[in-house]
A and B are shown apart, each in its own frame.
Chain A
């Protein structure tokens, strides 16, 4: 599998640019030195609490906002070095599915217009008839009757709208889709349908995925690999099995214990985190998680823990994460 997206030291700092008198608000470090790769046909899930920079990360990857540091390589081409025209051409290869199915579809346009918009932008619709045929095909693909194409978004339920959003995203056959919490605004009963749909489509079309979520149960179904974010940084990343069976970062562990489990007997050992997430404009020194970490020691406030590899393909940023023994590491290197 070749690397589709290579993120290198990506960061985004929002600064106060308003022309007000008086002191400026401190800059907000939304994303800081994030690096990872996404392979072709792979689904990477990013999880974390609200405000940890997940959505910003997704938008950075699509170059919807400018990165303040680092770069994103898409098919080995640096996006920050591209001209606006090249970026626009690239939009055909990368699409987005949004969180809010009510806000992300323009209320005054018909479903056909909404779904065909990406194709229109890239001149992929030859005639009216061709356009309608393609829209009908896409509607069918996402499980909606093609006869709905002349209706407006308000006539649909949340789940149906999300299907429309997905049809729009896959209409230009992209190589990469960022799904920004695509199911968190939906009823639980519908979440499963949408997730299954997305997985089906991924199998059929073979695109890669960045799946942003705050719900570990959802991630478990979708992801090949999982990245856990806290205050703009990736604190742990690994395959789904690694993260779920042997989390190495205390934050990941706390997140896991917070995921609801259907079996009441298994609900015993919840890890309750104290306090709130610190403001991203005032990140604690050293390890950003130390203010809430049950394991925090002196070293945590002095030194920022680097991401270390604890087993092949599994990294964690914690001073107490134990790397796998050297004996195990040697055959790999």
Chain B
């Protein structure tokens, strides 16, 4: 199963140009959904206005080199490891889901655009990446959704309570889960039975819901959160610090004695 390229098998019945067209349509839906969300929610306007206002209280001007260094450090340290989530289960689950999704999507594009023609042979590496990415997404995503979600952990709601904010994580999990189920049933060689077609249909529907729901879902946090992390570190460096006080000139003498606990004292 892990070395199976489900798209190559599918391309035996459906021309690969349709698969490629589907990927391009999904990419277009991301762009359209994000742009409409930016126009309607005005979050980019708010973000830049806020950054401009914060700059007025800057105590020093950052050079281009220093700015680039801060942005690079933010990408490597803050964004690539989602450090804002602190050290704990939430961060591990998010990193698993994030890299799993990136692998899953990149491998999908490579498999569909490079290895769906009749004369191509899919390298095991890319098939493995597709499956590993989907598994990582499932592990991180289900861990988050069942146990670590703030609704469950801090608000004491049951895990099965579904709200609008779940649209992104649930459709993403549906894509990865149905994708894996589709590949598994395909690898069983059930001789044109219904199983893999059902999972293929569910996989297509969950992709349409995921990418078509960008405007309503939290999909765009992948774009906004890195921007906010960069702005935060630039504000810290230029002295404006979003009006926050400077770090206290005091020794680290209390260790973890008064460290905040997990927020589940409901």
Q: Does B associate with A? A: no
